[in-house]
Amino acid sequence: MTTLISSDADIDRIGLGVIDKTLPKAEWTHAGHFAAALWLWRSRPASALGDMPDLIRAYNLATGVENTDTGGYHETITLASMRAARAELSRRPADAPLHEALDGLLASEFGRSDWPLAYWSKPVLFSVEARRAWVEPDLRALPF
């Protein structure tokens, strides 16, 4: 998968742009989500998992996206993606460039935006319950 995120400066810009709600909506892509996740794990490891949901909800609202039972923030996908990002970082030296971790993540099975469907059936993943709270995979366990 090709991404326009080619440096740690790009990842810093995305992470900070989500926090201060200045990231252009067009950059809030699958790669952008993972870039923000990696940035949070590196910059706020103790609170990254807890911070991301509120950051996404606030960013969505700032860019005109409502967080509802059918759109916007999705808890299960967010937490699974955060775990995938943490697993990728754990395979690398602590000072490895984040853009290389992003490239590795996007080159893996998680590089596809539909990757959660290998672990959750559509009815479970797209349920209101999974959007609101963590739901365990129903097809197979996550590898991390």
Query: How confident is the model over 45-84, as pLDDT tens digits?
Result: 999 999 999 999 999 999 999 999 999 999 999 999 999 9
Give the three-state DSSP class for 72.
coil
Interatomic CA distance for residues 46 and 75, integer angstroms? 19
Interatomic CA distance for residues 138 and 58, integer angstroms? 29
**The 3-state secondary structure of 43-65, one letter per residue:** HCCCCHHHHHHHHHHHHHHHCCC
Any idea where the domains of the chain sit in the sequence?
Answer: 8-132
All residues at 6 or more sequence positions from 13 whose CB lies less than 8 Å from its CB, including other chains: 23
Interatomic CA distance for residues 45 and 39, integer angstroms? 9
Strands (E), 22-108: none
Report CA 27 to chain centroid distance, whole Å: 13
Please tell me the predicted confidence (pLDDT) of residue 1. Answer: 43
pTM, whole model, 2 decimals? Answer: 0.95
pLDDT digits (tens, 9 = 90+) for 69-124: 999 999 999 999 999 999 999 999 999 999 999 999 999 999 999 999 999 999 99
Query: Tokens for 93?
Result: 């030296």
All residues at 6 or more sequence positions from 15 whose CB lies less than 8 Å from its CB, including other chains: 35, 36, 39, 40, 43
